[in-house]
Amino acid sequence: MNYKKILTNNIFIFISFLLIFYSIFRYSESFNKGYNVVEDWAIIKTDQSLDTNSFVTVYEDMMKIEWYGYKRIRPMWALYFVTSVKLFGFDLLLLNIYIAFLCICTSFLLYRFCKNIGFTTLQSYLFALLTLIGPATVMYARPRMLKSLGC
């Protein structure tokens, strides 16, 4: 195989995902959305909790809220949420840039998965793009919500 051609193709695909999702995030004003009382109260509460308590204690408290308050178990989401608040604090711009980066990487890895199982380049690209644009876009457009949209 020609590895230079594969690498060039992968770089081109990654950059195209970068441009597409940057345009979506920029057009939807996700980068400068600012504070939202409905969605961002948990970030403030978790950030204040991390100032006085350990990471594990805050994680356990988040799991208690999930179990006793909402009657559901989401340990990976709670770990992700507490970790992202620990890393970025209440800087919403950094949080949104991080979420855009996750979106781009998810698209690229989905593209690579499709290529590895035998789809053509066009099929893989369209599958990765169309899977994450549409109803699934809500997970990147409203990433800071404590409750899911269906609750």
pLDDT of residue 151: 46
| Same-domain pairing of 110 and 129 | yes
| Same-domain pairing of 126 and 113 | yes
Full-model pTM: 0.77
Number of domains in the chain: 2
| Same-domain pairing of 96 and 78 | no
| Same-domain pairing of 122 and 78 | no
Q: Which residue ranges of the chain lie beneath pLDDT 70?
A: 1, 30, 33-39, 135-151
Q: For residue 133, how far is the Cα from the chain centroid?
A: 13
Q: Of the residues 90, 110, 129, which one is the last residue of a structural domain?
A: 90
Its domain, for residue 81, covers 37-90
Instruction: Return the closest-CA partner of residue 109 out of 12, 5, 10.
Output: 10
Residue 58 near residue 66, CB atoms below 8 Å: no
